[in-house]
Amino acid sequence: MTLDTATLTKAAFPSPNDLEPFARWVEDRFAQDGKAAHIDLPPELTHLGLDARLPGYVDTRGGARRIHRSGFLQSPEPWLKHPQTRFQSAGLIEGLDGRNHPLRPANPQGVVYERFFVDAGITVTFRSVDIDRDLDTFHRWQNDPRVAYFWEEDRSTEELRGFLEDRLSDPHNFSVIGEYDGLPVGYFEIYWAREDRLGAYYDAGPWDRGWHGLIGETSALGRAKTSAWIRALTHYIFLDCPMTDLVVGEPRVDNAKLLRYADALAYRKIKEFDFPHKRSALMHCARDDFFSRVAL
């Protein structure tokens, strides 16, 4: 729904801290001009006081109230559903491999991200995995031949329970369920790259993160929806940890359907390399490139 300026008054906000209607209005204006680097706020909105909480906000020399796209999209509000401040006390410690690694808080629980994607017509949500709630669905997804071809985890329910228990107990991994409009559609793993198998194949920075993902519901496939979840997952990773400047991936080189999205979503193919079990493409997505190029 498009919000006009007349709708955006103080009465439209349930509380003075509610940024969502304002953020939706800003998003709508950027969507109208996909190449606009900034927008100037009309005078009737400046009294709200909410614009100053967004990192893309500046005053111009002419007195206009301006919001820059790249800064606005890096604001944790309203999309991040847990405090970004959880990383305020995070630091680096020396690991057994002689390199520094993040000293970080435990993974968040519940819903962690939610955003409506106008072009796909869906709200994408990520929430932490709940094994008892998600196991049967996860089993069905992994035993779909389309998924099993890439994941090779077409196993019994109890074996997959053990798989999820291992993932949830692994401090370098954060497993989430992706939902479209409240319905579970996929499983995603967000990992710290330097502590992952991928970290040995490139000069991994201590705050680099990567992801693996699958869409289990065939009704959730398609170009617009696939683009939406990749943008959402990348957006979440960058919002979650301000120190993360690079998101990486290592899809199979024959996963042409996934790789065709790479350039439009600011993922660059760095090289091809061989894991023991597959030949992969090393993909890099830099924070600045993502927020300056990608139309969220």
Q: Are 154 and 140 in contact (CB under 8 A)?
A: no
Distance CA(57)–CA(188), nearest Å, equals 33
Per the annotation, the verdict on 250 as an active-site residue is yes
**220: closest CA among 110, 141, 104, 135?**
141
Burial class (CB in 10 A: 0-12, 13-18, 19+), 94: exposed
Q: Which residues contact 95 (CB under 8 A, 6 or more apart)?
A: 101, 195
Q: Are 175 and 167 in contact (CB under 8 A)?
A: yes
Catalytic residue among 114, 165, 250, 272: 250
Strands (E) located in the chain: 38-40, 57-59, 65-68, 91-94, 100-103, 111-117, 122-128, 173-180, 183-192, 209-215, 246-249, 268-274, 279-286
Q: Which residues contact 171 (CB under 8 A, 6 or more apart)?
A: none
Burial class (CB in 10 A: 0-12, 13-18, 19+), 126: buried
Q: Which residues contact 55 (CB under 8 A, 6 or more apart)?
A: 71, 72, 74, 75
User: Strand pairing of 183-192 and 111-117?
Assistant: unpaired
Phi, psi of 185 (to 5 degrees): -130, -15
Distance CA(126)–CA(67), nearest Å, equals 27
Residues that are catalytic? 250
